[in-house]
Structure 1
Amino acid sequence: MSSGRERRRMNSRISGFYKQGVPDRLDEIVERCDLSAEATEALRDSTDLDLADRLSENVVGSVTLPLSVATNFTVDGEDVLVPMAVEESSVVAAASHGARMARETGGFSTSVSGPYMVAQIQALDVPDPRAARVRLLDARSRLVAEANDQGVLVSHGGGCEDVEVRVVDTPEGEMVVTHLVVNVQDAMGANAVNTMAEGVAPTVEEITGGEVSLRILSNLADHRVARAHCRVDPAEFEREDADLTGEAVRDRIVDAWAFAVGDPYRAATHNKGVMNGVDALATATLNDWRALEAGAHAYAALGGYGPLTSYEVDDEGMLSCSIEVPIQVGTVGGATHAHPTSKAAMEILDVDSADEFAGVFAALGLAENLASMRALVTEGIQSGHMKLHAKNVAAEAGAPEDLVDEVAARMVAEDDVRQGRARELVDELGA
């Protein structure tokens, strides 16, 4: 991680964190992250209907997701605690486990192509589309200047930096599509690039002789790609109660990845594992998880749908793990700083820029996928999932709080996780 300030130093390895009660966990995070009083209070009380009404339309209530913290992350040499808002406990557990495996060999290294978004301007009924394309490219300087007259990005060090033009063949005929390539700095950038597209549209009409219709960003953010890499020693895959060696598990993970390369049915589920982590961090920080989903799956489909991650065995016998995914997020603007809990989540994360933020997203997606792959090729995904799910089943079946853990443990031991068995166990234990 690059930084323009002195970074907070803390250790993201918190042994037994999941075993602590919620108040103790919060105290631990407050102390390790040196959270402000405002952030601490926001985490203790996260429901505010007046605020919800300001953030959305037609509000009648609020759905509250658990805000968790994934531990064990080392990203570009710095320890990071990652906030995640998600209703499924196995997602947070997998992220922390994947990060712990990577941690033993230095954690994750990341790179980001830069905070560039693309605005599209669609011109219809253009008399000579290819000649119009050439004229638009000749007018690149004029279009860039007009785009930069819109909004405030230039004053923050960003702005439109390039123009691309395509002739797109569609069922309704050929269309001339102009792309504004915009450096949005630390913003997600949707509002800024949309404003630029609308401002430049009249000039595009003038140059092409056509009629401009759509003027909006593209969520295929292929100019804004984040990459992460880690290496895992096969010894990390060893289990005393398992027959497979670490090397066998390593090789099975590579084979599972190859399955995703060859089969889009598998690739879709493979990438869903990546997005489990990405979406949870986006939700925790009130970034647009829907844009991230659209961009990631479109990017995965550019050459025929395939996996966003890759796995191979390197020359030292280590499992080499990589991810490449478009990440369109911001540390300024939007709802991120409008909600006290999302502000607290950003304070926990402690990133300096949208690029640094994107690197954490990539590391988290890779950690999530790595842990899922390890589980899939060994005991199967349901074993760990059902251990975590059993507590929910016990609570839904009416188990008192002091019996939830015992009922859940009994169901898992019996391999019988269902509400009927939970109710039987509650009766047996005398509740």
Structure 2
Amino acid sequence: MNDDKVKSLKVRRSSRLTGFYQESPDRRRARLVESRWLAPEDAKACEGLAGFDESCADVMVENVIGLHGLPLAVALNFVVNGEDRLVPMAVEEPSIVAAASYAARLCSEGGGFTVVADPPITTAQVQLLDVPSLTTAVRELRARAPELLAEANALMPGMCARGGGARELEVRLLDSSTLVVHLHVDTCDAMGANLVNSLAEDLAPRLAELSGGRAGLRILTNLADRRKVKVRARVPSGALSSERFRDGGAVRDAILEAQRFAELDVYRAVTHNKGVMNGVDAVLVACGNDWRAVEAGAHAYAAREGTYRPLTSWWKGPEGELCGELELPLATSTVGGAARTHPGVQRALKLAGVTGAVDLAGLAAAAGLATNLSALKALSTDGIQKGHMSLHARRVAAEAGASGELVEIIAERLSRERVYRPERARELLAAEVARRKGGWR
């Protein structure tokens, strides 16, 4: 290995890129190259939809008539299991990327995010109906579990060769004549939907024969509770202070009051969890994953005890710090699907330095805890609208026809007036253009 390569390996990349939000997209890409997050050719490809054209889209979904884009951004300041990371996000809502970056900086004051993840288990379900004797069927199925697992593994030699395969067979009683068999499969870096669906269909006749019933539905479950991710973070109370709210301990206590509100009230809990999924979904969309499946599983998990509850917990630590935890099922993939066909997804995974499905799940969960913290802090202090509307003002200014530096000028005036109507933005823009044509600045 030559000296240049050795030096590049020793460089510690920082996710803290000061002033990044104030720069142009061109300059941001240049900074990512300078700080060795992106190779020059990848930065160039980020300028548009390089490699993603109608022919590529046409093999992804049906009835394609064109392309539809979302902004691709990076959240900064993330330290995950001791490593600086950039977090790719594809999202249309203003403030989510800024919120994640801000909260990640707060968490970095306490060491960043610590992630622990389960193995990538995807579960197939086979419904067995009209079972004549539940007791006999359950006993027979459980006794035959080793041979059924062997049959399943024989159907997926490729997955087994990669270290995956069927791990457990579970039998559950649903009513007086219905069973469901769960086949838990380690799918490595794949989400595994197609694989486990095929396994369920192939094994269903054998399961029906052993139970004496008939096979009903044969499909995976998106409640991936064998595939959970847990992420924790701590924020020193002093890091929570600001110019307007100088007492960080008081801010911490206000955040804890907001957490308690979500624990007591389902209406608040739903919005609380939406704030979590703001971060999770944005990462999954950027990385070409099935965010709808994760959403369904996350909300089901939130209601697993019979009452819908917040996915996060926040509490006061032994040194007065704010401590938080997020746990949710999170099935992700870094092979197959969009990761195989969409060049933008491939670039996002590369930018994030994703090493596999479990790593991606941890990164998405860290983003979810960050956006939740940012929302709770905003709600507990300035209110959620202050930061959100300042970013919304930029969108309104652009819609009115502003470009370049005029976007920031018009947005700042809209925010100062606290008026965000497009017609007012057009008035301000016309006045600014006229002033500049008049030659006085």
Is the structural similarity TM-score above 0.5? yes
Equivalent runs, 1:63-142 vs 2, <5 Å: 63-142=68-147
Instruction: Supply the distance in 1 between the matched residues of 2:208 and 2:44 (Cα, whole angstroms).
Output: 53
CA deviations over 1:313-343 (Å, ceiling 9, x no partner): 0110000011001110012222113111110
Partners of 1:312 and 1:320 within 8 A in 2: yes
Cα distance in structure 1, aligned partners of 2:270 and 2:10: 38
- Answering whether residue 237 of structure 2 is matched by residue 249 of structure 1, we say no
After TM superposition, the score normalised by the length of structure 2 is 0.92
Using the TM superposition, give the Cα deviation of residue 8 of structure 1 relative to its aligned residue in structure 2, in angstroms.
7.7
Aligned to 2:426: 423
1:240-287 CA-to-partner distances (Å, cap 9, x unmatched) read: 134x62111101111111111111111110000010111111110101
Whole-angstrom CA distance in 2 between matches of 1:347 and 1:229: 25
Out of 357-366 and 72-81, give the one that drifted further.
Answer: 357-366
Q: Which moved more, 1:414-423 or 1:31-40?
A: 31-40
RMSD: 1.6
Q: Once superposed, which parts of structure 1, at least 4 consecutive aligned residues long, lie more than 6 Å away?
A: none
Alpha-carbon distance between aligned partners in 2 of 1:278 and 1:316, rounded to the nearest angstrom: 29
| Residue identity matched to 2:295 | E
**Aligned match of 2:5:** none
Q: Which residue in 2 is equivalent to 1:15?
A: 18
SS of the equivalent of 2:324 reads strand
- The SS at the match of 2:375 is helix
The runs of 5 or more residues in structure 1 that have no matched partner are 1-5
Alpha-carbon distance change, 7 to 293 in structure 1, aligned in 2, over 3 angstroms: farther
- What are the within-5 Å matches in structure 2 for residues 19-418 of structure 1? 19-36=22-39, 39-46=42-49, 47-151=52-156, 152-169=158-175, 174-242=177-245, 245-303=247-305, 304-418=307-421
Provide the secondary structure at the position in 2 that maps to 1:426.
helix
1:316–1:369 CA distance, 2 compared to 1 (3 A): same
1:250 maps to amino acid: R
Q: C-alpha separation between the residues in 2 aligned to 1:174 and 1:259?
A: 42
Structure 2 distance, partners of 1:405, 1:119, is 51
Say which SS state the counterpart of residue 13 (structure 1) adopts.
coil
Distance in 1 between the 2:177 and 2:433 partners?
A: 74
Q: CA deviation at 1:191?
A: 1.4
Change (3 A) 1:401 1:36: closer
Q: Shift of the alpha carbon at 1:42? A: 3.1
Give the conservation status (yes or no) of the 8 Å contact 1:227–1:325: yes
For residues 149 and 403 of structure 2, the distance between their equivalents in structure 1, rounded to whole angstroms, comes to: 64
What is the TM-score normalised by the length of structure 1? 0.95
Question: The residue matched to 1:376 in structure 2 has which SS?
Answer: helix
CA drift at 1:38: 5.3
Deviations 1:8-56 (A, max 9, x none): 8411000010011001111222343453465334312215121111111
Which one-letter code corresponds to 1:293 in the other structure?
E
1:400–1:354 Cα change, 3 Å = closer
- Name the aligned partner's letter for residue 289 of structure 1: W
Aligned with 1:356: secondary structure?
helix
Match of 1:271, as an amino acid?
Answer: N
Matched-pair contact (CA < 8 Å) for 1:116–1:181:
yes
Change (3 A) 1:39 1:99: same
Aligned to 2:6: none
Contact 2:132–2:177, Cα closer than 8 Å, also in 1: no
Closer/same/farther in 2, CA of residues 267 and 8 from structure 1, 3 Å limit: farther
Q: Distance in 2 between matches of 1:7 and 1:306?
A: 44
Cα separation, partners in 2 of 1:13 and 1:34, compared to 1, 3 Å: closer
Please give the alpha-carbon distance, in whole angstroms, between the structure 2 residues aligned to 1:337 and 1:8: 30
Q: Which moved further from structure 2: 309-318 or 328-337? A: 328-337
Name which of structure 1's ranges 314-323 and 23-32 shifts more when overlaid on structure 2. 23-32
Distance 1:8 1:56 in 2: 41
- Work out the CA distance in 2 between the residues paired with 1:118 and 1:299: 15
Identity of matched residues, % = 48
344 and 33 in structure 1: CA distance in 2 versus 1, 3 angstrom threshold: farther
SS in 2 for 1:429: helix
Task: Determine helix, strand or coil for the equivalent of 1:153.
Answer: helix
SS at match of 2:338: coil
2-structure distance, mates of 1:427, 1:112: 54
Q: Which amino acid aligns with 2:16?
A: R
